Structure 1
Amino acid sequence: MMQLFGSFTSPFVRHIRIALADTGLAHDFVETDYGQSAVGSPAQRVPFLRTEVSGRTLQLNDSTSILKFIRESAGESFCADVESLDLYCLINTALDTTVNLFLLEREGLTSDANPYLQRQAARIQTSLQALEDYPWPAQLPWNDAGIRLACFMDWALFRQRLDFSNYPKLLKLLNDAKAQPSFVATAPPQG
């Protein structure tokens, strides 16, 4: 059986939990902290997944490879075309950058006097504007790009990292995600 190692607050883990819920694939969730992930994965982060495939243990150490494995195991496609993949990658870049800046700030490093970190903060804003300008359909597509966007935005609001008031289209898409049972069921714990 698949074992997903992660935290309840990680947006990357949340996306995988949504994919597992939506596909109905059997799995165990193993709550994992920073110390455990440093030992359990060469990437030293969550999520990571372990499963048996053809009599051997397969370990996947990145959310994207895990999502591809889950989708293919369920007979589905992951990012069915290059445009969907590029959109997913843009969202993932913004999410990864936002998470990294959050973790650096926890360690006392801010972008105030650091040109590299200022470029990273600017990257988030240009990505958000590109996502706002993207020709989204009327409803959030419930595919991996759409799910990644919703997980990113909800995490950024949960951690009070970003203000989306200048991105009304994105806020509407996040609201669409809140109608999905798996999105609601995987929300980070409050309090």
Structure 2
Amino acid sequence: MTQIRIISASSIAKGSIMKLIGSLTCPYVRKIRIILAEKNIKHEFDVDIPWNTDTHVANHNPLGKVPVLIMNDGKTLFDSRVIAEYLDDLEGAIPASRLIPESGSARWRVKRWEALADGICDATATIFLERKRPDTQQSPEWIVRQHKKIDLGLAAAAMELGGNDWCEGKTITLADIALGCATGYLAFRFPQIEWRKSYPNLTKLIDKLEQRESFISTAPRDYAS
């Protein structure tokens, strides 16, 4: 069960239900929201935009970045990769199946997928922020470099996926979630970038992911919508 609300300075109480702080557009926040949904972990989702002047994110993460997870004991975790590991290790989650293999080569393949997907997100966000600058201050070379990262990242993902149904193993893992968040964020920020025709195997996987309730309920959206 998820409760979504706008965060205030006094809205976090030690010893209360687990809380996730983040925005509705950040792909790293979405990754954690999907994990929480897939594992049916009870929590609240507090919306706080780090770019806003009234943000309280820095009260919980000195780096001023989301996602931030406030655990039941009031202590915080930040960085989506750290939070993902913590949530996957929680006892009593239903279903109990892991999204990150506990050990061995499968674990590191999933973590490599996550790194690749996060890199695509990083490049997409960099282009978005660069284009918000005045035209005279933008760096076309920097934008081209980020586009190349996206192109090469998607090509590598398609090659790695091959004819498999999932990124790793026989069911959904963090690898699929991270990749779905990356392509979803790319489509949200730059819908004019057409990659689906070039990578039909990725398209098949992403279409399957986007039919899951965890993906539907966390689709990125503007705050006015």
Q: Give TM class, smaller chain.
A: 0.7 to 0.9
Is residue 25 from structure 1 mapped to residue 41 from structure 2 by the alignment? yes
More helix by share: 1
1:15-164 correspondence runs (5 A): 15-34=31-50, 35=52, 36=55, 37-53=57-73, 57-73=74-90, 74=93, 77-80=98-101, 81-108=107-134, 110-112=138-140, 114=141, 116-136=142-162, 137-139=164-166, 141-160=171-190, 162-164=193-195
Q: Any gaps of 5 or more consecutive residues in structure 1?
A: none
Structure-1-length-normalised TM-score? 0.86
Q: 1:110 Cα deviation (Å)? A: 4.1
Match of 2:21, SS?
Answer: strand
Amino acid at match of 1:127: G
- Change in Cα spacing, 1:83 to 1:125, as seen in structure 2 (3 Å) is same
Quote the sequence identity (%).
Answer: 28
Structure-2-length-normalised TM-score? 0.74
State the alpha-carbon separation in 2 of the partners of residues 32 and 76 from structure 1: 31
Q: Over alpha carbons, which structure has the higher Rg?
A: 2
State the alpha-carbon separation in 1 of the partners of residues 214 and 77 from structure 2: 23
Match of 2:20, SS?
Answer: strand
Deviations 1:5-29 (A, max 9, x none): 0111221111111111111212111
Match of 1:5, SS?
Answer: strand
Amino acid at match of 1:166: S
- Change in Cα spacing, 1:78 to 1:174, as seen in structure 2 (3 Å) is closer
- Change in Cα spacing, 1:130 to 1:110, as seen in structure 2 (3 Å) is farther
Are the counterparts in 2 of residues 79 and 144 from structure 1 also a CA contact under 8 Å?
A: yes
Give the CA RMSD over aligned residues: 2.2
Q: Any gaps of 5 or more consecutive residues in structure 2?
A: 1-16, 102-106
Is residue 173 from structure 1 mapped to residue 210 from structure 2 by the alignment? no
